[in-house]
Structure 1
Amino acid sequence: MKKQERALYSEEHKKYLKNIKIKKVLILSAQFGILIGILVLWETLTHFMILDPLFFSSPSRLIKTAIDMFATKEIYDHISVTVYECVLGFGISTIVGALIAIGLWWSDYLRRVIDPYLVILNSLPKIALGPVIIVLMGLGIKAIVTMAILICIIITITSVLNGMMSCDPDKILLMKSMGASKFQILYKLLWPYSIPNLISVLKINIGLSWIGTIMGEYLTSRAGLGYLIVYGGQVFKMDLVMTSVFLLCVMAAGMYLLVSLIEKRVYKSR
């Protein structure tokens, strides 16, 4: 009887795992199908001049432009500059934002004082600070990274802090009753509890850091994909603009996949 139950359980479990794999394949197929459909439709509309390729470019022209850009090897410099600025802004804003969130949790008085300023700074359009950033940081990478940090850091602070504050108060009281210090409560309870929020922050900051980097390159840059987009728009080379945008999408997707892999490893180790 037990052997039959185990066999039945094993078969049901195999079916369950198989259904999960089938769903993943269907989701990936649908995602790639939508992408291919958009590209085919785009190419068709520009081929029959329903959309003017001078303004909208086309997938075939993007491929040709990308091949030419990589052949000259100049594009590698622009990609490396943009990736460096984005990763630097992403890393600094995430680490500093998480540390500030811990500090605000640690001091209830400080949190109450700072909270309205966080709301105001979060609602402020960061592009409005562009001239101030340029005056303070000068032209170049410092100003661009500062822009990326300003866009990401407030979201990091509020998200991590909200994750820590949402922890069950009874668990905190239990640890206090057992003589745990504030640091032990943070290290043993709140930080592990906040990891899902931190992973979500990383995913959000990927997009925000790219936005901040490109906005900064719009304001002040002599290299980078944002610079190529501005230059392409000025000289009316839409193929260059669209190719640069496509490369940005690919790199943002790569960073997102990297964070997803980190998320899987973190959850497996818990």
Structure 2
Amino acid sequence: MTMPSPLYERYLRIQKRRQRLIWLTRLVLLAAFLVLWELAADWKWVDSMLTSKPSQLWGSFRELAMEGSLFRHVWISAQETLIGIAVSMAVGTLVAMLFWWSTFASKVLEPYMVVLNALPKVALGPIFFIWLGDRYSVYGMAVAISVIVTIIMIENGFKDISRTKLKLMESFGASKLQMLRMVLLPASVPHFIATLKVNVGLTLVGVIMGEFLSSKAGLGYLIIYGGQVFQMNLVMVSIAMLALLSIALYGVVNVLERYARKKYHHES
């Protein structure tokens, strides 16, 4: 086993220091924003009844946490988002595979994909509410927002796969199913991860929009309820929890990405 060179060790130390500096700068910016927000409310630069302030948010957070209702709403939104991501990835992957398998189907349905992608999904909210009811309409909205993007991204990922490998397998008599299973899907793992990263944000947007329109629970419901009763603390706490939820989901995807990269490099 060869030891790393002094130059490489110096490079690693510089990279670690740079990463620590990046994290420190992020924390300083967040702290400066919170301090400025607090002072602006105390000095009457802004109306705390309209904007709230960090100290009030902390009090509201503790109150809601002690009641247990806040984490219940967070869990409901998280569950809806995870199910929406899973359904969108599954349906999107299957449709993208169909488009790769049949060029005819791809050509026929491509204009519909473009139209559906451009369609404002919030317009579908009342339809989902009538068709699926107040509970499942949230899932319908979440999937509607993310599934078309999933199809487009994964299909483009399939097209980026080296045609040379596929032609080589075809020359050896491999079937389309074998090419799909042995080359296309394994080589598309980076595209799946990239699509998953996009879907975290899109599906969460769909969930919140669905909760705005019809739900009786979840962070979207809390935001709407807080606005209706003019409790800005409740609105701001819900938005903060929504930001933390999105960070947590994105962190899970990053862990999956590191695992997929290690496995891919190990197998290759």
TM-score clears 0.5: yes
> Which of 126, 133, 140 is the equivalent residue of 1:131?
126
Question: 223-232 or 18-27, which moves further after superposition?
Answer: 18-27
2:173 partner SS: coil
> Is contact 1:126–1:151 with CA below 8 Å preserved after alignment?
yes
Offset of residue 258 of structure 1: 0.7
Does 1:45 pair with 2:58? no
> Which of 31, 35, 51 is the equivalent residue of 2:26?
31
Distance in 2, matches of 1:58 and 1:114, equals: 50
Offset of residue 83 of structure 1: 1.4
> Is contact 1:163–1:193 with CA below 8 Å preserved after alignment?
no
Deviations 1:36-87 (A, max 9, x none): 1211111111111101111111111111100000011122321222111111
Q: Which residue is equivalent to 2:238?
A: 244
Offset of residue 211 of structure 1: 0.5
Deviations 1:206-238 (A, max 9, x none): 111110001001110111111110011011110
Q: TM-score, normalised by structure 1?
A: 0.94
Q: 1:139 to 1:194 in 2, by over 3 A?
A: same
Deviations 1:134-175 (A, max 9, x none): 1111122x1001100000100110000000011222222122
Distance in 2, matches of 1:103 and 1:239, equals: 48
Offset of residue 9 of structure 1: 5.4
For 1:177, the aligned partner's letter is S
1:138 partner SS: helix
Deviations 1:95-148 (A, max 9, x none): 1111111111111110111111001000000000111111111122x1001100
> Which of 205, 214, 227 is the equivalent residue of 2:208?
214
* Unaligned ranges ≥5, structure 2: none
Q: 1:111 to 1:62 in 2, by over 3 A?
A: same
Q: Which residue is equivalent to 1:95?
A: 90
Does 1:78 pair with 2:77? no
Does 1:177 pair with 2:171? yes
Does 1:149 pair with 2:143? yes
Distance in 2, matches of 1:105 and 1:13, equals: 44
Q: TM-score, normalised by structure 2?
A: 0.95
Q: Which residue is equivalent to 1:18?
A: 13
> Is contact 1:93–1:156 with CA below 8 Å preserved after alignment?
yes
2:23 partner SS: helix
Distance in 2, matches of 1:257 and 1:101, equals: 26
Question: 190-199 or 54-63, which moves further after superposition?
Answer: 190-199
Distance in 2, matches of 1:20 and 1:123, equals: 42
Q: Which residue is equivalent to 1:267?
A: 261
Does 1:189 pair with 2:183? yes
Identity of aligned residues (%): 38
Distance in 2, matches of 1:73 and 1:182, equals: 53
1:249 partner SS: helix
Q: Which residue is equivalent to 1:166?
A: 160
Q: 1:226 to 1:9 in 2, by over 3 A?
A: closer
Runs of 4+ that moved beyond 4 A: 6-9
Query: C-alpha root-mean-square deviation of aligned residues, in Å?
Result: 1.5
Q: How does 1:47-66 map to 2 (within 5 A)?
A: 47-66=42-61
Q: Which residue is equivalent to 2:117?
A: 122
Offset of residue 179 of structure 1: 2.0
Deviations 1:242-268 (A, max 9, x none): 000000000110010011011011101
Query: How many pairs were matched up?
Result: 264
> Is contact 1:229–1:244 with CA below 8 Å preserved after alignment?
yes
Offset of residue 8 of structure 1: 9.3
